[in-house]
Amino acid sequence: MTTERIAQHQLQNLAQTALLLAGMFGLLIALGWALSGLAGLVVGMVLASLFVFLGPAFSKAQVLRRFRARRLDMRSAPELVATVAELARRAQLSKSPELYYVPSRIPNAFAVGRTNDAAIAVTDGLLRMLRPRELGGVLAHEMGHIRNRDLWVMALADFFTRTTSGLSTLGKVLLLLQLPMLLAGQVVISPWLLLLLLAAPGLSMLLQLAVSRTREFDADLAAVQLTGDPEALASALTRLEQPRLSFWQKIFGPPRDLTPSYLRTHPSTKSRIARLRSLAAPTPNRLSDVDLASLSRQLDALGRGVRFHQPSRTAWLLFGR
């Protein structure tokens, strides 16, 4: 029953992702056609095709450098590296992703790179907050992103959004240059073109966020397949959702998050947990537990002399999980 449910969810997520990417591609093509007719259409299609073949624009080394990440190996974190290697084996990857430590107090994790040359980064805050079983669920979630080629999918969606925004800006500049002729009545601009120039970037961004939410659901399902333990990731999400309140927030209550769901990069934690717990497996194939005392000693060694920092909000929005 669980396998059938997972397959059903995966098919639904795949269809949603394909439709959303098609919508983003359609916006790009429509904007190219509106600006320069057949030539713009051809240029848009050529650019998209080149990106598909060349792969993601984000360099793994560049992203890890931005977060000041440090490579973990069998000497510095043997249990964690062994866990990642076991997950890679279960995911049938040709090469195990590298594991990196990010000196940040914010509990977070992300994957970056290509399927056969990927890296998983975990922050100090995440390693100290989660229990070993929960940590295994989060690592499996990131491994799911790698196995499902989500890194390429999200880079493609980002390319569509950036290109659409660039074409829209170009169109607005051209309209400004033609403003004297517009005022003199020598040139007539279609109101539909104006609407497209104004709305296309925002619509493309909304579609990109929807793609991100869909891929998060699929990575959750992949984590269940890799660990056979839905409760591990559900418990981790529950712990990560619990706010750490200041003195005044404990008295007056935590601030409400008023961000609409369609402006989020991730689905609501509540919906993710509900979906995970609906997939409870009767015989979980759990990962071997990390020794808590040993992990604590390793974290103390990693954090000794390290200057903790706060990555920018933009960096977390692009790469944080």
What residue spans define the domains of the chain? 2-242+258-319
More confident residue, 191 or 234: 234
Identify the residue whose tokens are 């390793």: 298
Per-residue pLDDT averaged across 198-223, rounded? 89
Query: Residues 8, 211, 155, CA angle at the centre, nearest 5°?
Result: 125
More confident residue, 32 or 226: 226
Q: How many C-beta neighbours within 10 Å does residue 257 have?
A: 8
pLDDT for res 305: 59
pLDDT band at 304, cuts 50/70/90?
Answer: low
Q: What are phi and psi of 96, to 5 degrees?
A: -70, 135
User: Cα–Cα distance between 221 and 228 in angstroms, integer?
Assistant: 10
User: Cα–Cα distance between 182 and 296 in angstroms, integer?
Assistant: 69
More confident residue, 171 or 248: 171
Q: What percent of the chain has pLDDT over 70?
A: 69
pLDDT band at 167, cuts 50/70/90?
Answer: confident
User: Cα–Cα distance between 1 and 128 in angstroms, integer?
Assistant: 35
pLDDT for res 254: 47
Whether pLDDT at 34 is above 90: no
Of residues 142, 216, 231, 241, which has the active-site annotation? 142
More confident residue, 115 or 255: 115
Q: What percent of the chain has pLDDT over 90?
A: 19
Yes or no: say if 112 and 64 are a contact pair by the CB < 8 Å rule: yes
pLDDT for res 234: 93
pLDDT for res 258: 47
pLDDT band at 1, cuts 50/70/90?
Answer: very low
Per-residue pLDDT averaged across 71-92, rounded? 91
**Interval 6-21: pLDDT, tens:** 677 677 777 888 888 8
4 in active site: no
pLDDT-wise least confident of 3-17, 143-157, 198-212, 269-283? 3-17
Q: How many C-beta neighbours within 10 Å does residue 140 have?
A: 30
Query: pTM of the full predicted structure?
Result: 0.79
Whether pLDDT at 50 is above 80: no
Contacts for 222 with CB less than 8 Å, ≥ 6 apart:
91, 140, 141, 143, 144, 145, 147, 148
pLDDT for res 52: 62
**Interval 102-117: pLDDT, tens:** 998 889 999 998 888 8
pLDDT for res 248: 44
Alpha-carbon separation of residue 235 from 112, 124, 242, 277 (angstroms): 24, 19, 11, 10
Whether pLDDT at 129 is above 80: yes
Amino acid at 200: A
pLDDT for res 53: 63
> Both tokens of residue 277?
């717990």
pLDDT-wise least confident of 84-88, 129-133, 279-283? 279-283
